[in-house]
Amino acid sequence: MNSRSAWAAAGLLLSSLLWAGNALVARATSGEIHPFALSFWRWALALAVLLPFVIVPLWQQRAVLRKAGWRLALTAALGIGAYNSLLYSAAQSTTAINITLLNTCIPLATFISAGFLLKEWPSPRSWLGMLIAVCGLLVLISQARLENLLGLSFNPGDLVMLLAVLAWALYTVLLRRWGSYFALPPLVLLAAFVSVGLVAILPFYLIELRQVGGFEVTPRTLGAIGYTALLASLVAYVTWNQGVKIIGAAKASLALYSMPVFAAVLAYVLLGETLQGFHWMGGALIFGGLLLATLPKRR
């Protein structure tokens, strides 16, 4: 693996870490801030931070943006508007761990989407690596006990999360498919996506505001917006978009298998929960599978 690919892989893992925290934040504040409110203000703050740095390049790149046109609008609506709003909606009725676990369905959805849309079918070794990572995921889900796996249950929030998974898989694949239309500096491209995504979110936020009202401004709600805007949005999306550009959609999506591991570590650090043997076993299988799937072929 060359240094460029290594940095891209590190960035993808950083994105997964920050998004694991995003799921915890969404669940922790689900009773205090409504889903479309969190989604809208998250991206509004992110755009406010971005604009001073990108307003001039955005104007200079207006011809590229016009050429991207509906492709940019569709991609932004999926990755900025739909995915996060659906995730926050799911957090109203399901757990943070279920959100992170269901997120790990994204690699399979991306593999299949990339195969049909990009004709980039993964190699047998990549499929084997994904299978090993799935085994690690099952170890985490079941706590290494078969009876726990057989008794696993899901609720309507989990079904909403599956829609979010599909939206993100398509977003990742379209980033790759239309990469030539998105030939912009990373922050400029992100600002363009966020601007369009906010327009897509706004009608749903206004409907939510009319039906259930706003939210109380407290340190917790402001902290949730701040974390999701600065870390889970600006940092994570830039590193993810660059990783997809360098490594490819299908392989990049494998990094999401690390989210349950990061969620367990965050729970240990922030909530004082104990890391047990099945955490280490599942984590080792997940990272081993990722390594196998993403290492380049030997000549």
pLDDT at 36 over 90: yes
Query: pTM for the complete prediction?
Result: 0.77
* Helix%, strand%, coil% for the chain, nearest 5: 85, 0, 15
The per-residue pLDDT for range 201-219, each reduced to its tens digit, is 999 999 999 998 888 899 9
- Residue 274: predicted pLDDT: 64
Rounded to an integer, what distance in angstroms lies between the CA atom of residue 297 and that of residue 299?
Answer: 6
Percentage of the residues of the chain whose pLDDT score is greater than 70: 87
Per-residue pLDDT band at 263 (split at 50, 70, 90): confident
DSSP letter assigned to residue 233: I
Which of 3-12, 65-74, 289-298 comes out lowest in average pLDDT?
A: 289-298
> Which residues have C-beta within 8 Å of that of residue 53, sequence separation ≥ 6?
187
Query: For the segment 177-199, what is each residue's pLDDT rounded down to a tens digit?
Result: 888 888 888 889 889 999 999 99
Residue 273 burial (CB count, 10 A): 13
pLDDT of the residue at 155: 67
